[in-house]
Structure 1
Amino acid sequence: MPQQPPVRSSSTPPARPDASMSLLTNVMDHSLDDGYAEAAARKQAAGADGMPRTLRAKLGLAAGLVLAALVVTVGAAQARVAAPVVAKEREELIDRIDRETAAADALESDVDKLRDDVSARQREALKQSGGGDQTNLVGILSGATEVRGPGVKLVVNDAKESAVGGDSDPRGTSGFSDTGRVRDRDMQRVVNGLWESGAEAVSINGQRLTALSAIRAAGDAILVDNRPLVPPYTVLAVGDGKQLSTRFQNSADGLYLHALQENFGIRTSISVEDEVRLPAAPSVIVRTAEPITESAQPRTEKGTS
């Protein structure tokens, strides 16, 4: 008798009643797209709590404005508190400057009075000794006394367009970045030319020149006895006006100044004046002095044996 194959029992669950409606079942089980769930999970992990980006930006901007307003308000309050202190310090500084300026003016006035007193005493003493005229001449030539009389007025000024130059360079160099500016060497030649032409006394912008005066440069500024001058440079010279003017313009230094005018546009003008006034030089100092007597005899030393 043939054997029958064993009958296997199946534990397969019974089919669902809606198995034939799988599409509708999928729609019901997954009503939202999986992307929405992923986006919500990312926002929750980042701590955004689902807040829109524009709203977060507005809130950040508002917070920044509030902070800036707070800083400005605190700064204004501090400035308002410090303003009286700063104003008081400024007033005190201005008062101190005014006091020091007044003190300097008073000292300068005292110096002028003492200088005039010394000059008067010197003239009186020299009159008694018979040397008054010679001393007055020495004072004029040395710049120790004020001078007034006929002379010339020479004005030297920078060119209007100081960068414009000619084909030649009367200064003998080409290293000047601005050839239309008046240089210290130019004023040196002008002053030396006036002395050579017969000037008895010379001043530049009210600064009296003496045998010890120096005309130098400090950058673009011209210094006369360490005092800065600004253009235009007004040179006053006492002497025979017409003769002094003619001699200077025909001299080598006068022709040099004319060349500067032609080549670089430096402005110059010279005029004959009936009277010019030159102040005394403030830097004249008597370094050595010896009394002069009619019976002065050379000194001899007694030897010992």
Structure 2
Amino acid sequence: MADVPDPAVRPAPQLPARVTLPLLTLITQQSLDEDYLHVAERRAATSPGPARIRPHRTAAVVVAVFGVLVTTAAVQTSRNASVNDASRATLISQISARRDSVSQLQDDIVAQRERNTRLQETLARTTSAEQSAITRMRRLEVRTGFVPVRGEGVRITIDDPPGADGTEAVRDEDLALLVDGLWQAGAEAIAINGQRLTALSAIRNASIAIHVNSRPISPPYTVLAIGDTRTLQANLLDTTHGLAFFDVAQQLGFVYELHNEDTLSLPAAPERLLRLRAAKAGTAADQNNHVDEENTP
């Protein structure tokens, strides 16, 4: 027989979870639940209501914005095209101007090169003429006695005959014959007893002494003549004045000697003989006229 529950006996009431759960578990669950609840309430308060979907208006706005963007791009492109066209035209104009300037400069360079060529030719002619003039001047300085000279030549020593009286002694005209013969034989410079001879030199007797350049000299007379030692003596014997001098020397018994010298030194002429009183320096035109006159038959 089954047991029948006693109505008088009531089941014990069930305790809540906060009573039966451990304290640590209860604190953790309540904290998390309150946090979740707090977050859910904040979301509910801040979130708007369900958005309405308006597909037609959204498409219209998108198309309008796209149209604005396209229009803006077209306007900007048109402006940029105008600016680019203007810049291109300016660059073309500048290039043309620069080309004209470069062409002008190239023409100037060609003209300057031609001018430099002409000037170089003129300089070459002038330099050649200058060198010729310097050479001519040096030869004239040597021949006229303006400068001391040095070179090979002939030394001629002349003395009176032993026991000679006044009529047999060497005279000025005897020395003049010898000097003229040396000039004819090709001598380039002559001195007698250290006196350089020029076109203005005089050989004269003053009393019993011979004077050269107004300076008295005494025997023996040393005549120095610079010239080609290979031909100077031989040429002297072939000249009229040279033959005349040697004839007189043999007739009167002059004592003379001729020697070739490797080096002779002759001084310059006295300064008073180098001053020109009437003659003046000519020009190249005068020289050309003189040459033309000589060439005229």
TM range (shorter): 0.3 to 0.5
Q: Could you say which structure has the higher helix fraction?
A: 2
Higher Rg of the two aligned structures:
2
TM-score, normalization by structure 1: 0.47
